[in-house]
Structure 1
Amino acid sequence: MICQDSFELRRAFPGLDINPRLIFDHPSIEQLSEAIVKLPERSEAGNTSTGGSTGESSATYVSRFTQLTHGEAPEFKYGSTSIEDIFVRKSDGMECVMIPAARARIGNDGMHYQAGDNEGPSHEVELDAFLMDIEPVCVGAYARFLNLVNPNQDQLSDWCILPEEDERCCHVPIIFTENGWQAKTGVPANWPMILVSWYGANAYALWTHGQDWSQYKSAAVSFLPTEAQWEYAARGPKTAKFPWGDSDASEELLNVCWEISTYEGVSHVATPLTELPIVAVNLQLGVSPFGLRGMAGNVWQWCRDSYHENFYLSSEASFPNAWNSEGDAKSERGGSWVGPCDLARSSYRRGRIPEAKGRCLGFRCAVMVADAPGM
């Protein structure tokens, strides 16, 4: 049986009352191969022609790709770059943007645009300065991580490997070879890592900050962004609908599913991995006021927090630290290539169990400046 995203189920069965914040692991849409952006593993700044789902083309800027996809033992600290407020995490080559301390307005009361009940009430959160990955962690970087930490089979199953009977096995973007883990043939190393659980994301985030990655199930320490950090990094001091503001979404701004009619019960299981409409992490789409890429569309991103539908009604919602308990469902943000642009709004929130792995789900890391090694 193929489980579907709740958005798809509501379209297929309009008479059902389905919670839009519940998520399943088998998103389903018609093949959108014309929306694929094929990029080299490493691209210098320039333009590339991207075909959208309508067949029209547009010029989309490609940023320099810095994540490390090969190499030996890492150096666990941050270093400065030639650009102010951008630092490099030497363990994996990721460029990170310093987000200044702020009293951030989080959530949406539906005053300017329609919002879900779980997005309000809006509230203020005191945020210390933190570093946020400029883009989601890519396939090549995750394969390098696996080669360096050499996890056992149980850990791999927790993180990024599916059981043989799972029909999504063909979409796992990495493979173990005689040379270790690497991206599957035809999969760009700079695609976002997908089909990675919260445990797998947390393990990477712990490792890349020099912490004990074997404690990936623990809620005590994590270097995934809190919901408040993620939302503020996505839209900045203005409580706008999208990272770029309140203007309408377009293919030049983010990678989502534009042909909503393709949702009608059509599965992506038969679509070859390399033909999924995923784009590279260094493409200038979903760009936030702080210059972060992929903060709307392409892949959902795990957050540190436990997810609760009514969390914003509690006093803890205004606390700067994540509300996080081991084993709880975890929050995800950002929207993806599977769903419509409405799910890519900066305040839109939903959750999955930490074991969940999705073809439209990835992650990025964050760390408070005070806790960043070498800062």
Structure 2
Amino acid sequence: MLLAVAAFLWTGGAVAGEEVIADNPLVEIPGGPFAFGNDTGDENERPRHLVKGQAFAMNQTEITNAQYRRFVAATGHRAAFYDRHPSLGLPDHPVVGVSFADAEAFCAHYGLKLPSEQEYERAARGPQGARFPWGDAPVDPTRANYGRDACCDEEASDGHDMTAPARSFPLGASREGLLNLVGNVWEWTRDFYAPYGGEAPPELAGKYRVLRGGAWNSDPTRLSTTHRLAYDPDFRFAANGGFRCVRTPD
């Protein structure tokens, strides 16, 4: 099922906003307190605590191959590593094979930035701290594109061997109508990896960025809205890593 693109989009009760990036509107996320972190997840997700967040706006979907190609054509930036892959490179699928710097450059071209971990988590789980974008009901193949129970291999019962089109899985939409905030592709955030409420050890400090959301080959345990993955920002060969952008008030 595809959602029709127009000046305004129906997005599960939310109205999508300005299209800074063609075909990928920015959706407004209200400010206010929200639950951040998870006391029952991995150690690096703890503790759960309240955060007072500012309003921001986030792309409704992951950045697609078509959108990234327009950026490459306009700037001369290098193409995504899987740009011409017969499955991963399809125009309406999320771009993969991009480093942190590639993703950062794309967002900056449009006057945007990569989301922080807090922005990603607020968009994905709402103010009450749901486990998934759609609520607390368990993940299933109608709501997200993910892999087998044992990491890390694709599973086709959701209809896709690898990535799915960025506008897939409307039943998995977030409170504000954003799509695929869990599953499909991991998403870069702008934060360096560190424990909550503390400093990263010297071997990690300032070296790794955080990916969020899980991907088409992730086992279901990695698809929660609070799961964190430390990742080498220079690595651009992942077939399961993409991004989306945000606009913030600062």
Give the TM-score category using the shorter length. Answer: 0.7 to 0.9
Task: Name 2:198's counterpart in structure 1.
Answer: 314
Contact 2:152/2:217 (<8 A) preserved: no
Question: What is the RMSD of the two structures over their aligned residues, measured on CA atoms?
Answer: 2.7
Which structure would you say has the larger Rg? 1
The TM-score, its normalising length taken from structure 1, stands at: 0.58
Task: Name 2:141's counterpart in structure 1.
Answer: 251
Out of 163, 167, 180, the residue aligned to residue 282 of structure 1 is: 167
Contact 2:88/2:96 (<8 A) preserved: no
Out of 120, 136, 142, the residue aligned to residue 62 of structure 2 is: 136
Instruction: Tell me, in whole angstroms, the C-alpha distance in 1 between the residues paired with 2:120 and 2:186.
Output: 12
Q: C-alpha displacement at 1:207, in angstroms?
A: 0.2
Contact 1:92/1:208 (<8 A) preserved: no
Could you tell me which runs of 5 or more consecutive residues in structure 2 were left unpaired when the two chains were aligned. 155-159, 200-204
Out of 55, 80, 96, the residue aligned to residue 194 of structure 1 is: 96
Instruction: Tell me, in whole angstroms, the C-alpha distance in 2 between the residues paired with 1:141 and 1:88.
Output: 16
Out of 239, 248, 251, the residue aligned to residue 129 of structure 2 is: 239
SS at match of 1:289: coil
Task: Name 1:323's counterpart in structure 2.
Answer: none
Change (3 A) 1:118 1:150: same
Out of 361, 364, 373, the residue aligned to residue 241 of structure 2 is: 361
Instruction: Tell me, in whole angstroms, the C-alpha distance in 1 between the residues paired with 2:28 and 2:152.
Output: 39
Q: C-alpha displacement at 1:259, in angstroms?
A: 5.4
Change (3 A) 1:109 1:93: same
Change (3 A) 1:124 1:204: same
Superimposed CA distance per residue, residues 272-317 of structure 1 (whole angstroms, 9 cap, x where no aligned partner): xxx8521000112531111100111010000010112x2x1239xx
The TM-score, its normalising length taken from structure 2, stands at: 0.84
Task: Name 2:53's counterpart in structure 1.
Answer: 127
In the TM superposition, 1:155-194 aligns within 5 A as: 156=78, 160-161=80-81, 172-174=82-84, 187-194=89-96
Contact 2:113/2:245 (<8 A) preserved: yes
Contact 1:106/1:231 (<8 A) preserved: yes
Q: C-alpha displacement at 1:86, in angstroms?
A: 2.0
Q: C-alpha displacement at 1:82, in angstroms?
A: 7.0
AA matched with 1:306: F
Q: C-alpha displacement at 1:124, in angstroms?
A: 2.2
Contact 2:151/2:217 (<8 A) preserved: no
Out of 51, 64, 88, the residue aligned to residue 4 of structure 2 is: 64
Contact 1:244/1:287 (<8 A) preserved: yes
Task: Name 2:212's counterpart in structure 1.
Answer: 333
Instruction: Tell me, in whole angstroms, the C-alpha distance in 1 between the residues paired with 2:20 and 2:88.
Output: 27
Q: C-alpha displacement at 1:234, in angstroms?
A: 0.3
AA matched with 2:53: L
Instruction: Tell me, in whole angstroms, the C-alpha distance in 2 between the residues paired with 1:260 and 1:244.
Output: 23
Identity across matched positions, percent: 27
